[in-house]
A and B are shown apart, each in its own frame.
Chain A
Amino acid sequence: MITFTIDGFEVEGEKGQNVLQVALDNGFDIPHLCYHEALKPYGACRLCQVEVTKGGRTRLTTSCNYPVLEGISVQTNTEKTTRARKMVIELLLARCPGVPIIKDLAKEYSVGEPRFKVDNDDCILCGLCERVCREVVGVDAITFLGRGSDRKVGPPLEINPKTCIACGACVYICPTNCIKLEETESERTIVRWERTLPMKKCKACGRSFAPWFQLEYFGKITDGIPADFWDKCVDCR
């Protein structure tokens, strides 16, 4: 166990954990947009700023990718963390003025109208969708494209990524809710990636429950599960 302090309170973490994780587990409130416990920390949104004192030196850093270290002292709410977070929020608000989660943060941190030219984007490039698709689902259907101020996230050929199984993990994890899923009896579509797959009907109840392609993929990557397992919906299995 590694012992350190957050805002003066003694907390414990394990080797390999990061400061944000331990802080959240202990009920400290640090705003964050690109972090998810199921994924490797990335450090893109820059919102989870804290001040860490180590060996007598204090510095501003993101907590999501800062490893827990014995004896460090973490401050989650200082003049500097607020100053940094406010500007990050203002930048994000100028980018995505219509996104509820950003508007809420702006309210919480008393950030008014952005002083920059306002865009009308809905994606904050946190990379959660890209990482969940790669790290958890394992199909690498989408990725970051371009760099610098032209960076965006999407399928390699802009639309209809061939490896996408329309599982909806990206839809679920997106903090700005900019990736939408539409489903009918016969088809499922991930709207943003323009990916539409036909649905399979449950052999038992006849209800369509998942895309064929997705079930084939699951069949391929799982061992020791009988092939007909994927013929039925979750309720009928």
Chain B
Amino acid sequence: MKRINNPQELEKVREEILGSRDPDKPCITICSGTGCHAFGCEKVTESFRAELRKQALEERIYIRTTGCHGFCEKGPLVVINPQKIFYQRVTPEDTGEIIAETLLKNNIIERLLYTHPQTGEKIVKEENVPFYKGQMRIIFGNNGKIDPTKIEDYIAIGGYKALSKVLRELSPPEIIDIIKNSGLRGRGGGGFPAGVKWESCRNAPGDKHYVICNADEGDPGAYMDRSLLEGNPHSVLEGMMIGAYAIGSDEGYIYVRNEYPLAVRNVGIAIDQLRECGLLGENILDTGFNFDIKVNRGGGAFVCGESTALMASLEGQAGEPRAKHIHTVESGLWEEPTNLNNVETWANVPLIINEGVDWYTDIGTENSKGTKIFSLVGKVNNTGLVEVPMGITIREIVYDIGGGIPGDGKFKAIQTGGPSGGCIPESLIDIQVDFDKLTEVGSMMGSGGMIVMDDKTCMVDTAKYFLNFLKDESCGKCTTCRDGTRRMYELVDAITRGEGKEGDIELLEELSWVVSEASLCALGQTAPNPVLSTIRYFTDEYEAHIKDKRCPAGVCKDLITYSIDEEKCTACGKCKKVCPSDAITGEKKVPHIIDTEKCIRCGACITECKFDAIEVA
């Protein structure tokens, strides 16, 4: 990419790129997000390329590998443009047929289409697939249009227009007003108004101001930031640049999880491209604005999602939070004013500048504007990333977009907000999802994980899972958080082992109050949420464990037994083969038997049995 010296040149480059591309020329778009990678999209891409070469069609047909399209469940995903024909579960063997039939003859290959699970209808276009239909993909949708490693692709869809506009036409306070008026709230968890934060940081005295992008997406079960940074890194970088200009910063950092190698790679490529064409560095677009960005890889510590811990980590320290009696916008990284937002928040910024405040504030609820990307996972048919307007109900997300619960399972709860959040029961399935409502019901938005739980999910086990996570991920500084979460874990663990006592629930509540009130940082302050919300909505399950020594969901190993239903067992012998403790016996043609003494309830037989013959009681 050649150097872009001023706004006029940026527009010229854009025209050149668009001029060199034929919008009607067929294009094979292959999702190359992490999910599709795991399903083997690389081989599919190779196969497409080989086929095009073989048939000498390379000139006539574009091929584009993009970031995550969101519908990871059905990968590898291929979209044929411009018709937007949506093929799922594509294999290398299908590529020749797709080229011959769909691209050359315009015939649809029924086999590769998405089938509506209820109606059995075959759906041709991406936008008509129920998973996508209910979404509003204003941030995430561009992932499917661009190759994240090509800045030309981003410029072609209007990239850096917003940056160019603010540098030419707007003063920093005017930008801050726009962000304030847009109602944009931080997507990382707290939901603090971004514009207010920017303003405080801008007004704080200091030799230097920093901006940081928090890409240390630590909430287990949430991966929207990963997919954004992987699939559209320039949108995040453009947002940071606009923020830096508004705040008066010339140095930015991206703190990204080391567990996300593709995101690290793609954002690195994007930064190199920006430096090469002069959009990062000195005197950007000839406006006197200087700015550069460094990428730091995280070390795998959940607590580093907390802003002061993240800054300590950037300074080369252990990620221990400090008290925020003086805010980071006044004294953050190297004790200078620092503005930190997360990946998704930054990605919203160019959109707000381009489309305007009125357009943006039309989306969402009164106090939560815009859209939110959720990672819809767990016990739900269509798992993947969904972007929806704030205010949508949980029911719409789980049933209309997510296609409901797999098999004969029954919706029990949805967990949001990661380890700081809580479990929302079925009785609240019609609440409108926004920052305030989720907090009101005892959970929180967090970074947007939504884990669907069905009747085979034990809520006490869920609480134990999060406590185990938190006791390990606590930095260990505060007595209340370090020892408090450990003691809560011990109590809940005992309950799941049938050793719960009368009064345990009350003790958990008492301890919860102190852990949340007396701990230093947000990790400790929110740590009791998973326990409190499950006690609040699923007391009966706790009591079943404590009083009846029973796990109603059939999860807690010490409280269940496995047996084989003679009627269903076909004596195929598969369970016997996988059983690691030799607990299953049985001759050919005779229903098998489980020795409950030997059985370690590992679940191997359950997943292996094709006849649903293993019973858990």
Q: Which A residues have a C-beta under 8 Å from some C-beta of B?
A: 42-47, 49, 60-62, 65-67, 80, 83-84, 87-88, 91-92, 94-95, 115-117, 124-125, 127, 144, 146-151
Nearest CB to that of B524 among chain A residues?
A: A46
- The answer to whether A146 and B483 have CB atoms under 8 Å apart is no
Q: Which residue of A lies closest to B475 (CB)?
A: A147
List A contacts of B471 (CB < 8 A).
148-149
Contact of A91 among B326, B473, B483, B520 (CB under 8 A): B483
Q: Which residues of B contact A65 (CB under 8 A)?
A: 322-323, 325
B206 smallest CB distance to A (angstroms): 18
Contact indicator B476/A84 (Cβ below 8 Å): no
Q: Is B487 part of the contact surface with A, judged by Cβ < 8 Å?
A: yes
Asked whether A83 lies within 8 Å of B476 as measured between CB atoms, the reply is no
Q: Which stretch (B64-72, B149-157, B211-219, B506-514) binds chain A?
A: B506-514
Contact B301 A95 (CB under 8 A): no
Instruction: Check A88/B476 contact, CB under 8 A, given A46-B518, A65-B325, A144-B318.
Output: no
Given the known interface contacts A83-B514, A117-B490, the answer about A147 and B476 at a Cβ–Cβ threshold of 8 Å is: yes
Cross-chain contact B479 with A148 (CB below 8 angstroms): no
Q: A115-B507, A116-B490, A147-B301 are in contact. List 11 more A-B contacts (CB 8 A).
A: A44-B478, A49-B518, A80-B517, A84-B480, A91-B484, A91-B487, A94-B483, A144-B476, A147-B475, A147-B476, A148-B471
B430 within 8 Å of A by Cβ?
Answer: no
6 closest A-B pairs (Cβ-Cβ)? A151-B476, A87-B514, A149-B486, A91-B483, A84-B518, A148-B474
Inter-subunit contact A83/B513 (CB<8 Å): yes
Complex CA distance for A94 and B482, rounded to whole angstroms:
13
Complex Cα distance, B361 from A185, in Å, reads 79
> Within 8 Å CB of A87, what residues of B?
480, 484, 510-511, 514, 518
Min CB gap B347→A, angstroms: 31
Question: What residues of chain B lie closer than 8 Å to A146, measured between beta carbons?
Answer: 476
Q: Which residues of B contact A43 (CB under 8 A)?
A: 322-323, 477-478, 520
Chain A residues with CB below 8 A from B513, complex form: 83
Whether A149 contacts B323 by the Cβ 8 Å rule is: no
Asked if B519 lies at the interface with its beta carbon under 8 angstroms from chain A, I say yes
Task: Give the chain B neighbours of A49 by CB distance below 8 A.
Answer: 518
B485: Cβ under 8 A from any A Cβ: yes
Chosen A-B contacts, 10 in total, with CB atoms closer than 8 Å, are: A42-B477, A43-B323, A44-B477, A47-B479, A49-B518, A65-B325, A91-B479, A92-B483, A149-B471, A151-B477
Q: How far is the CA of A116 from the CA of B511 in the complex (A)?
A: 11
Residues of A within 8 A of B582 (CB): none
Residues of B475-501 contacting chain A, CB below 8 A:
475-480, 482-487, 490-491
Residue in chain B with minimal CB distance to A87: B514
How far apart are B474's CB and chain A's nearest CB, in angstroms? 5
Closest chain A residue to B476 by CB distance? A151
Pairwise interchain contact B482-A125, C-beta atoms closer than 8 A: yes
Give chain A residues whose Cβ lies under 8 Å from the Cβ of B474: 147-149
Chain B residues within an 8 Å CB radius of A44: 477-479
Could you say which of A83, A124, A150 contacts B479, with CB atoms under 8 Å apart? A124
Is B472 interfacial (CB 8 A cutoff)?
A: yes
Residue B518 contacts which of A88, A117, A151 (CB distance < 8 angstroms)? A88
Q: Which of A87, A92, A95, A116 has the most CB of B within 10 A?
A: A87
Q: How far is B601's CA from A65's CA once the two chains are assembled, in angstroms? A: 50
A63 to chain B, nearest CB (A): 11
Q: Check if A151 sits within 8 Å of B482, measured CB to CB.
A: yes
Find chain A residues with CB under 8 A from B485 CB.
Answer: 149
Inter-chain CA distance A49–B326, complex, in Å, is: 18
B292-339, CB < 8 A from A: 301, 303, 318, 322-323, 325-326
B 509-537 contacts with A by CB, 8 A? 510-511, 513-514, 517-520
Tell whether, in the assembled complex, residue A148 and residue B472 are in contact, meaning their CB atoms are under 8 Å apart. Answer: yes
Task: Check A62–B520 contact: CB distance below 8 A.
Answer: yes
What separation, in Å, do the CA atoms of A44 and B478 have in the docked complex? 4
Q: Determine if A66 and B325 form an interchain contact, defined as CB atoms under 8 angstroms apart.
A: yes
Contact between chains at B517 and A84 (CB < 8 Å):
yes
User: Are the CB atoms of B323 and A84 closer together than 8 Å?
Assistant: no
Q: Chain B residues near A84 (CB, 8 Å)?
A: 480, 514, 517-518
Residues of chain B within 8 A of A144, CB atoms compared: 318, 476
Question: Which partner residue on chain A sits nearest B485 by CB separation?
Answer: A149
- B326 to chain A: which residues have CB within 8 Å? 67
Instruction: Identify A148's interface contact among B322, B323, B475, B510, CB under 8 A.
Output: B475
Residues from chain A with Cβ under 8 Å of B480 in the complex: 46, 84, 87-88, 91
Minimum CB–CB distance from A58 to chain B (whole Å) comes to 12
Interface 1/0s, chain B 415-451, versus A by CB < 8 A? 0000000000000000000000000000000000000
Q: Contact check: which of A42, A115, A148 meets B473 at CB < 8 Å?
A: A148
Distance of A91 Cα from B514 Cα, bound (Å): 11
Question: What's the minimum C-beta distance from A227 to chain B, rounded to whole angstroms?
Answer: 36
Chain A residues whose C-beta falls within 8 Å of the C-beta of B491 in the assembled complex: 116
A161 to B376, CA, bound (A): 50
By a CB distance below 8 angstroms, the chain A residues around B490 are: 116-117
Closest to B510 in A: A87
Residue among B318, B325, B507 facing the most chain A CB atoms (10 A cut-off): B325
Report Cα–Cα, A42/B321, bound state, in Å. Answer: 10
CA–CA, A211 to B269, complex, Å? 56
Give the residue name and chain of the A residue nearest to B520 (CB): A43
Please determine whether B482 and A88 come into contact, CB atoms closer than 8 angstroms. no
B311 to chain A, nearest CB (A): 17
Complex interface: chain B residues within 8 A of A61 (CB): 325
**Is there an interface contact between A94 and B487, defined as CB atoms closer than 8 Å?**
yes
Q: Find the B residue at minimum CB distance from A65.
A: B323
Residue of A nearest to B482 (CB): A149
Q: What are the residues of chain B within 8 A of A92 when measuring CB–CB?
A: 479, 483
**Inside 8 A of B507's CB, which chain A residues have their CB?**
115
Of A60, A116, A148, A151, the contact of B487 (CB 8 Å cutoff): A116
Complex Cα distance, B350 from A94, in Å, reads 53
Give the distance in Å from the alpha carbon of A95 to the alpha carbon of B482 in the complex: 11
Q: Which residues of A contact B483 (CB under 8 A)?
A: 91-92, 94-95, 149
Chain A nearest CB, measured from B138 CB (Å): 36
CB B492 to nearest CB in A, in angstroms, measures: 12
